[in-house]
Chains A and B, each alone.
Chain A
Amino acid sequence: MIALLPTLAEPQHFSLIEKLLFAVLALASVLAFWRRFGKILGKILKSKQDAGFPLFPLGWRIRDFVWEVLFQAKVVCERPLPGLAHAFVFWAFCAFALVTLNHCAVGLGIGFLSPAGRFGRFYFYCAAVFALTCTAGILLLFIRRFFFRPKWLGAKLSYQSGVIAFLIFALMATYLASFFVAGADPRARVLWWLHTLTLLVFLPLIPHTKHLHLVLSPVTVFLSRGSFSQIPPLVGDEDFGLVAGTDLTRLVSLQAYSCVECGRCTEHCPAANTGKLLNPKEIVLGLRGYLNDLGPASEEPLLGKYNAQEAVFQCTTCGACEYQCPVGIEHLPILVGLRRGAVNTGAWDDPHGSKLFLALERGSNALGISPTERDKFIEKQQLPLFDGTQEYCLWLGCMGAYDPKGREIVADFARVMNYLGASYGVLRKEKCTGDPVRRLGNDLLFQQLAEANLEILAQNKVKKIVSICPHCVRTIQEDWKEYGAPPEVEHHSEFLARYAGKLPQKGSGSESIVFHDPCYLGRYRNVFDEPRQVAALAGELVEAPRNHERSFCCGAGGGLAFLGEETGNRISHVRAAELSATGAATIATACPFCNTMFRDALSATGEGAPQLLDIAQLAARELPKGSSS
């Protein structure tokens, strides 16, 4: 049996010249690293401070850091095999921290961890195990990138990645090889120098490549904004969003430099998947390019050379990008920030966008319809008016009040509430919650709508709201906080799930139902089970290939339902086809926008298309005949 000892760690009899050479090379490497990294750090620190960034409490930050960075949870869960391979590489890096330190100390003659000692030997053997897994991992990743060539990594081959992969391989190989060479053997010294040179070449390459994420991404994950799609408030009279470099904040700059170019955001983006210009990865890299070329003090517009305005307005704000990102980049505040910069300054000149804004400037709803239509609907459906005594205020929203499908959903939900004996009423007057204009970046209009609505709610003494629309729920609960204290609000799936036991259920052997997770209910609110509980009352559930937090957007969000024709394939058609392909008899939705989008898409399919029903309609269907509205 060969005495496998990590001779890389054995103190060698380095001559003074060798020690000096090492010291000089190490210094040069560190300087080269700092020359570039320092600049980047400078750009990040010179960026505007983030307003109201809540560093404390640290508890959840530490927890997320441990989960996402140390355990590599997102990296592995979202792309299992490559994720695990990367995890091995990462864990090897962590394990090698001491090894590398000791290695350098050895080069200066002051090695502190001896392989002869019990702890040292144990540690070095553990590190060898990590080195083996790392080698396997890096080989796998190399083969995947250069031979299988997944679409999401980009069409161009990244030689940078190849070089880095080689360097990592070399580090592990030289380490492992040293186990087979005796300390006195001259080859041990060669291996030592090979390992050292690899290290010293690697170090300065880090800030020059996307491997900057090695240094930055743990920080980025730790310094998350705090919640999903957290849109920061505007500060002062001159803040209009992300207009130019001077508006980029430290978090945005940090995130831009952390991008690993893995393409997971683009892989799940509904716009990128249907032939649009928008590519979330390119948005982030565009900002990075801007910072590299112009820096955070530049007045040149962010939208222009580095990112196209057209692309930014193709985003449905579905959040698949932000949800996926393993290095903690928060795409949504960036996209909304860029939109704000264009809209708050009047630079966005879109006929449909202007029409939407003008409709809300003059009227109460996003569809530009007379509010008397809402009154007529309430009267026709005999919906009770909220008078302060009922428990719930049923928020109709624009779709619930004016859209034929939305109205059907409200009517059926009201039937179920009546059956349950729930105490509720609808407001005499409502204005649009402002979701589309909030996502499009029109802060003036959003403020006006939020404040007007908060006033209405206060006057009517509303304590609890239930709504059929996840966009309304999100906007009321989170976005209105900037202008006041909104009451409790929940989605009708949460309400119905609570009473699922009291609602009639269909027997088994019934129709198959596929539930489509709305973006604003699933990813935004983490509500996945409740709507399924309700849908299960009416049939057998099947799942679409992309479900739960991987659900594929219907295409209506981000204000896009109000904008003009899409280029490329229709997002709604793609998703509708995916849902139909499950073979389910019924598609269940929990959002009136999803419902409208799929209705149009399915009508193009013609005969044989599945039924399309909201979960409220499914629940109402099972009610005994004669349940009144």
Chain B
Amino acid sequence: MKIVVAIKQVPERDAQFRIDAQAKWIEEADLQFTLNESDAYALEEALQLREQHGGEVIVLSAGPERVGTTLREALAKGADRAIHIDCDDLGARDALGVAKLLAAAIQPESPDLILTGLQSEDLGLGQTGVILAELLALPHASLILHVEKTETGLKVKRELEEGWFQTVELPTPAVLTIQSGGNKLRYATLMGIKRAKTKEVRRVTAAELAVDAAPVVVLERVALPQKQKSTQILPGTAKEAAEALVEKLKVEVRVL
């Protein structure tokens, strides 16, 4: 099975950040970057499929030079080779624009399966995989926890709301967006990193891929949310506090 895993390098979760001067995004200079969490699960799923059925796992990522580190991490975890779409203006492209870039790079590979993480930790759009499927005219399924290869294609386990699940069958080639938590992630090993030194990282520039970059949705500005999380202590007697809590749960939290 030839599997392409599209991964994204995102700022480290819970990192301190500052909004940049134009209030368009955050200052990246002091940030540490890491592999997006659900992409790690997508990679893990791909590696397990390769272990079971043979084939090749190719990781692909778009972004500036620093993305190379994350690609090498993915190679260290077991991917066979990597493609780096060198692109300095990822932030200026919308979800459609990014998907077009990825589709252009994936098309010549003609993979059997394309996996992406469910959504990124920075923008959280969760659309890239679905749009990729549309652009490549492939069937897709999202929020996938488990993938099985069948005679006719794939059988996947999809997560639904409120603790329900569903299996879906679809033919290959296909696109799947992978939800976190479906597998146990493997940790990076010294052996993996050493082996990764000899694996291929092919670089292609965004310009070479010649896709239309004009965005149809623009992020105008960013701001800190008004309400910071603060604890509301409910005062009064046990009865009063209990009733106040129930009110909150009903109206504000909407869980009753």
Q: Which of B11-19, B48-56, B103-111, B165-173 contacts A (4 or more CB under 8 A)?
A: B11-19
In this assembly, does B164 line the interface, its C-beta being within 8 Å of a C-beta of chain A? no
Q: How far is the CB of A401 from chain B (nearest CB, A)?
A: 14
> How many angstroms from the CA of A443 to the CA of B16 in the assembled complex?
28
Residue picked from A237, A370, A372, most chain B C-beta under 10 Å: A237
Within 8 A of B (CB), among A358-377: 358, 361-363, 370-372, 375
Q: Which residue of B lies closest to A243 (CB)?
A: B191
> How many angstroms from the CA of A346 to the CA of B196 in the assembled complex?
14
Within 8 A of B (CB), among A438-493: 442-445
CB <8 Å contact, A371 and B16: yes
CB <8 Å contact, B12 and A444: no
Q: Which of B94-102, B182-190, B212-220 contacts A (4 or more CB under 8 A)?
A: B182-190
Within 8 A of A (CB), among B176-198: 184-194, 197
In this assembly, does A279 line the interface, its C-beta being within 8 Å of a C-beta of chain B? no
CB <8 Å contact, B187 and A443: no
Q: Given A354-B184, A363-B12, A363-B14, are A443 and B190 neighbors across the interface (CB < 8 Å)?
A: yes
CB <8 Å contact, B189 and A444: yes
Q: Which residue of A lies closest to B37 (CB)?
A: A362
Contacts of A343 in B (CB 8 A): 189
Q: Given A363-B12, A375-B16, are A354 and B185 neighbors across the interface (CB < 8 Å)?
A: yes
CB <8 Å contact, B188 and A444: yes
Contacts of B186 in A (CB 8 A): 346, 354
CB <8 Å contact, A357 and B14: no
CB <8 Å contact, B191 and A363: no
CB <8 Å contact, B187 and A370: no
Which size class do B's interface residues fall under? Answer: 10 to 19
Q: How far is the CB of A81 from chain B (nearest CB, A)?
A: 47
Mask: chain A, 325-361; 1 = CB below 8 Å from B; 0 = not: 0000000000000000001111001010110011001
Contacts of A445 in B (CB 8 A): 187-188
Contacts of B192 in A (CB 8 A): 346, 444
CB <8 Å contact, B189 and A344: yes
Contacts of A37 in B (CB 8 A): none
Contacts of A344 in B (CB 8 A): 189-191
Contacts of A234 in B (CB 8 A): 190
Contacts of B190 in A (CB 8 A): 234, 240, 344-345, 442-444
CB <8 Å contact, A370 and B191: no
Q: How far is the CB of A344 from chain B (nearest CB, A)?
A: 4
CB <8 Å contact, A371 and B14: yes
> How many angstroms from the CA of A557 to the CA of B220 in the assembled complex?
51
> How many angstroms from the CA of A597 to the CA of B30 in the assembled complex?
37
Within 8 A of B (CB), among A205-257: 234, 237-238, 240
> How many angstroms from the CA of A36 to the CA of B37 in the assembled complex?
57
Contacts of A363 in B (CB 8 A): 12-14
> How many angstroms from the CA of A240 to the CA of B189 in the assembled complex?
10
> How many angstroms from the CA of A344 to the CA of B192 in the assembled complex?
8
> How many angstroms from the CA of A190 to the CA of B140 in the assembled complex?
95
In this assembly, does B205 line the interface, its C-beta being within 8 Å of a C-beta of chain A? no
CB <8 Å contact, B191 and A345: yes
Q: Which residue of B lies closest to A359 (CB)?
A: B187
What are the 5 tightest A-B residue pairs by CB atom distance, in nearest-first order?
A370-B14, A357-B187, A344-B190, A444-B190, A346-B189
State the A residues within 8 Å of B (CB). 234, 237-238, 240, 343-346, 349, 351, 353-354, 357-358, 361-363, 370-372, 375, 442-445
State the B residues within 8 Å of A (CB). 12-16, 34, 37, 184-194, 197
Taking A240-B190, A344-B189, A444-B190 as known contacts, 14 extra A-B pairs with beta carbons closer than 8 A to each other, sorted by chain A number, are: A238-B194, A240-B191, A343-B189, A346-B187, A351-B184, A354-B184, A361-B34, A362-B34, A363-B12, A363-B13, A371-B14, A371-B15, A444-B188, A445-B187
